[in-house]
Amino acid sequence: MSPAAEASDADAEYHRSWTNKVARTFRTLVWVVLAIVVLQALFGSGQVSGQRAALLDQFQQQRNSRVIAMIHREETVSLLGVPVSKFIDI
C-alpha cells in the first residue's frame, strides 16, 4: 500500500472515530435531558402540594385555629411539554 493510501485510510479512520464520539455524546445528552424532564414531571406536582400544606399550616399557627380548605383545580398531565390529559383535583 502506498503512503498516500495509508494517510487517506488514517484520515478516514480518524473521521469515523470523531463522528462516532459526537454521535455518542449527542445520544447521551438526549437521554439525560429526557431523564430530567421525566423526573421534573414526577416530582414537580408534589412540590405544589407541599407548598400549599406549609402555607395552610402557617395560617393555622398565626390564627391559633384549625383551617379546613377545599381547593378545586384542573390539573394537566403533559408528556415532554405536550398536554396529554386533564383532570379535576380536589
Mean pLDDT of the chain: 78
The pLDDT value recorded for residue 30 is: 94
Position with higher pLDDT, 45 vs 71: 71
- Whether residue 63 contacts residue 75, with contact meaning beta carbons closer than 8 Å, is answered with no
Instruction: Give me the residue label for grid cell 494517510.
Output: 7
- Other residues' Cβ atoms within 10 Å of the Cβ of residue 36: 10
pTM: 0.47
User: How many folded domains does the chain comprise?
Assistant: 1
Per-residue pLDDT of 4-42, as tens digits, reads: 555 566 566 666 787 888 889 999 999 999 888 778 777
Which percentage of the chain shows pLDDT scores above 70?
Answer: 76
Q: What does the pLDDT average to over 59-85?
A: 81
Provide the residue type at 53 as one letter.
A
